[in-house]
Amino acid sequence: MLAIMPGERASGCEKSGAELPCRVPVARPWASDPRALPAQPIPPLSMKHSILVCAALGGALLGPDLASQDYMILCGFADSGGPSGPTGNSYPISRQRDLNGDGMLSEGTEETFAFLRTSYVTAGAVSYISDMKWVREGASYAFYIADSSEGHITRGVDTNNNGVLDPSEVTLFFDFQSGFSPDGITAWRNQSAANPQTIVYVAQDDSASPFGRGIHRLVDLNGDGDAMDAGEQTVFVGAGSNLSVPNRAGTGTTALVSHLWEQVHTLDNGTVIAYSRGSTTVTTANSPDQFAWYAFTDNNGVATASVFFNPSQINDVPTYPDFDVNGAFPQWDGVASSTAGTKPVGLVEFFAAAKPSGFGPREYFFGAGYNSGFIFTNPGGVAIHGLFYKWADADGDYRIDNGEISLFANFSGQPVAGVQPLSYTIGGSPVSDLNDRVFSMKAVDGGLHVCWGATAPANKHVFAMEDLNSNGVVETGEARETWTWARAGGHVWNTTFGPFIKDWTAFDDGFMPGPFPTGYVPYGQGCSHPITKLAPVCGAYGGRPVVGGSFALAVERVPPGSFSYAIFGVGQTSTPLPPTVAPAGCNLLIALPSVASSAIVAGANGVARLPLTLANDPQLVGVQVQLQWVTFVPPAPGSLATSNGMTITLQ
């Protein structure tokens, strides 16, 4: 394996008849000083393959840390047939990724893909994907998906690293036999344990289900890929748990009795948090435990409860001081109204955790959903819609202490708690008031991304907010549109109504490879990196590898600041690397002879990119080469890992 080291260029890399020999320094990333190794000739490659290889050798040495939005739309009215099927429904989950780096997501076929096509509903029924979470299992990620149509929980692993869950990669994990439930799912795995085990928590509120309402705990104890065997499903929080928390007055307790849970999450220490929702119907009475967030500690399947965050003044648990009477922020309850009268209701059902930045405390966010009658004001008449609050866990105790919450963004149209309203632009028109439904929000790529709009086709949007000047709040100029439904996604969504958004989520840039347009086919498996515990994977940006065009090859899931080398060859193989070179399981996946790029440094997102521009030579169309990456963190010789392989066919 050969490489040009940083600051050096290949010599002899010019067209010379039918073959192109290049003399470059032999460089093995695991060597303590690759530059000290003697120069040796690369065995001749064909002219066509050499043109591509030399383009790679001329690539940049530094992989730019560019964030590309990566969104997942969880759909209702969906099935395996998708828009081309007999019912014309959407696919259950679509994936949109900004692969051309223009900051906006296109609905064309090169940025919008069907992420999940599999649906386990009975004939004639449709899927309503209500939530999806993921957890690292081994050297990759497992996705756990809740379909509220009939209560199915599915599990998927992208084993071929093509960026979508193919039908063969998805299995039924559990069946609640329920209707329009479950409403939330999360997964946690104690990665530091000797034998880590994934625990899946599901919020199920259909009383007709034979498993009952509550938060359920699913564990695949026998390793057969599901949690449907005896003892693998238990009620973690439910009617039989007999849980209570201190009441508002501090004179007694409030029992957790409603068990209408949704938006369930796990914190890094394994604490389970969930929102207890209540009814917004004016004539329906709510119980004293509703409209608050609770935390649950899992003691080998037995839950203990505490109040995690209560922004409401209308239940009987302690209100977070800044949202209580005379607090720093306005009351965060709305008012539901109908011909039968009015009723105060809680709204704060969204929670998002940002990835640790390495600087300052871990940050989390809370937001409200205005889904029923579009409730915009609190009982005092103060506008509370479009407010997003940030929790900075200053002491790292996974508890929300007094003074740790601040108003992060104000889209209410008027000043709130000293924070001025902000606006952003959609199609040239400013938006300063989120006067429509909020579907969900996620904290990714250093910002807070919010999916909002109406269920009607013409009004679906995602915008991103980032505190660019680090003053603690988002101001005008720090929010931008990242996706607006443009009626161009007929290959993944219903061609008339577009996506019926049941929920929405997002990945951090570099979290998952692909999806890949025509011209890229991944193959084989990489080996787990000792730092990330994940196998590096091949990526591609900028569209198809078109002759005469520009694109970028990439490696993802590598340690920030690590050195990576793009290795090119012709043909596939699988040759184990010796233990003196790489950890067990690391294989060379490209046939020799091979040649590699200079070292490319990964950005903070764990992505190293190699930009390429190909000559407009018709002889290159149809040429295939194989790519594999080697990455390591100098100077540690034991930090090497190899990626999967990828066949590149020039278009």
The pLDDT, as a whole number, for residue 1 is: 29
Q: Name, in order, each residue with C-beta under 8 angstroms of 191's C-beta and a sequence gap of 6 or more.
A: 136, 533
Share of the chain above pLDDT 70, in %: 87
The pLDDT, as a whole number, for residue 554 is: 96
Instruction: Please report, to the nearest 10 degrees, the dihedral formed by the alpha carbons of residues 445, 103, 139, 535 taken in order.
Output: -110
The pLDDT, as a whole number, for residue 385 is: 87
Structural contact between residues 275 and 262, judged by C-beta atoms closer than 8 angstroms: yes
pLDDT at 5 over 50: no
Q: Position 616: which residue type?
A: N
How far, in Å, CA of 545 to CA of 537, rounded?
18
Q: What is the mean pLDDT of residues 221-248?
A: 97
In a 10 Å sphere around its CB, with 0-12 CB exposed, 13-18 middle and 19+ buried, how is residue 58 labelled?
middle
pLDDT at 34 over 90: no
pTM of the predicted model over 0.85:
yes
pLDDT at 39 over 70: no
The pLDDT, as a whole number, for residue 428 is: 81
pLDDT at 63 over 60: no
The pLDDT, as a whole number, for residue 8 is: 32
Q: What is the mean pLDDT of residues 452-468?
A: 80
Structural contact between residues 592 and 607, judged by C-beta atoms closer than 8 angstroms: no
122 or 7: which leads in pLDDT: 122
pLDDT band at 50 (very low <50, low <70, confident <90, very high): very low
Q: What is the mean pLDDT of residues 350-367?
A: 89
Structural contact between residues 89 and 76, judged by C-beta atoms closer than 8 angstroms: no
Q: What is the mean pLDDT of residues 8-33?
A: 32
Q: Report which of 126, 119, 107, 166 is spatially closest to residue 490, judged by C-alpha positions.
A: 107
pLDDT at 186 over 90: yes
Q: How many CA atoms lie within 13 A of 78 on its CB side?
A: 33
Q: Report which of 373, 385, 183 is spatially closest to residue 280, judged by C-alpha positions.
A: 373
The pLDDT, as a whole number, for residue 147 is: 97
Q: What is the mean pLDDT of residues 463-482?
A: 94
The pLDDT, as a whole number, for residue 24 is: 31
497 or 79: which leads in pLDDT: 79
The pLDDT, as a whole number, for residue 456 is: 55
Pairing, β 550-556 against β 129-137 = unpaired
Domain 70-506 is found in CATH 2.120.10.30: yes
pLDDT band at 94 (very low <50, low <70, confident <90, very high): very high
Q: Name, in order, each residue with C-beta under 8 angstroms of 309's C-beta and a sequence gap of 6 or more.
A: 292, 293, 320, 348, 366, 391, 400
The 8-class DSSP code of residue 82 comes to: G
pLDDT band at 35 (very low <50, low <70, confident <90, very high): very low
Mean pLDDT of the chain: 87
Structural contact between residues 74 and 129, judged by C-beta atoms closer than 8 angstroms: yes
pLDDT at 51 over 80: no
Structure-block tokens of residue 366: 């809370």
How far, in Å, CA of 281 to CA of 341, rounded?
10
In angstroms, the Cα distances linking 222 to 219, 226, 229, 237, 452 are 9, 9, 8, 23, 41
The pLDDT, as a whole number, for residue 457 is: 53
3 or 303: which leads in pLDDT: 303
In a 10 Å sphere around its CB, with 0-12 CB exposed, 13-18 middle and 19+ buried, how is residue 572 labelled?
middle
pLDDT band at 12 (very low <50, low <70, confident <90, very high): very low
Listed by start position, the domains of the chain span 19-64+517-649, 70-506
pLDDT at 138 over 80: yes
In this predicted structure, which of 110-124, 438-452, 634-648 has the lowest mean pLDDT?
A: 634-648
* Residue 420: count of CB within 10 angstroms of its CB: 11
The pLDDT, as a whole number, for residue 636 is: 66
Q: Name, in order, each residue with C-beta under 8 angstroms of 560's C-beta and a sequence gap of 6 or more.
A: 602, 603, 604, 605, 606
In this predicted structure, which of 136-145, 213-222, 369-378 has the lowest mean pLDDT?
A: 369-378
- Helix, coil or strand: residue 84: helix
Structure-block tokens of residue 234: 């238990």
pLDDT at 370 over 80: no
Angle at 19 between CA 18 and CA 20, to 5 degrees: 135
pLDDT band at 177 (very low <50, low <70, confident <90, very high): very high
In angstroms, the Cα distances linking 121 to 76, 79, 446 are 12, 8, 37
The pLDDT, as a whole number, for residue 232 is: 98
Backbone phi, then psi, for 34, in 5-degree steps?
Answer: -60, -30
pLDDT band at 438 (very low <50, low <70, confident <90, very high): confident
Structural contact between residues 74 and 450, judged by C-beta atoms closer than 8 angstroms: no
Q: Which parts of 466-562 are beta strand (E)? A: 479-484, 500-506, 520-523, 537-541, 550-556
In this predicted structure, which of 342-351, 364-373, 384-393, 497-506 has the lowest mean pLDDT?
A: 364-373
How far, in Å, CA of 149 to CA of 181, rounded?
7
What is the dihedral sign for C-alpha 339, 340, 343, 348?
negative
- Helix, coil or strand: residue 7: coil
In angstroms, the Cα distances linking 131 to 151, 187, 465, 476 are 12, 11, 23, 31
Structure-block tokens of residue 209: 């289900």
Q: What is the mean pLDDT of residues 304-316?
A: 98
Q: Report which of 607, 628, 614 is spatially closest to residue 50, judged by C-alpha positions.
A: 614
Q: Which parts of 158-301 are beta strand (E)? A: 170-175, 184-189, 198-204, 214-218, 233-237, 244-246, 253-255, 261-266, 272-276, 292-299
In a 10 Å sphere around its CB, with 0-12 CB exposed, 13-18 middle and 19+ buried, how is residue 32 labelled?
exposed
pLDDT at 305 over 80: yes
How far, in Å, CA of 140 to CA of 522, rounded?
15
The pLDDT, as a whole number, for residue 154 is: 98
pLDDT band at 67 (very low <50, low <70, confident <90, very high): low
Q: What is the mean pLDDT of residues 119-139?
A: 94
- DSSP for 472-499? SS--TTSEEEEEE--S--TTTSBTTTB-
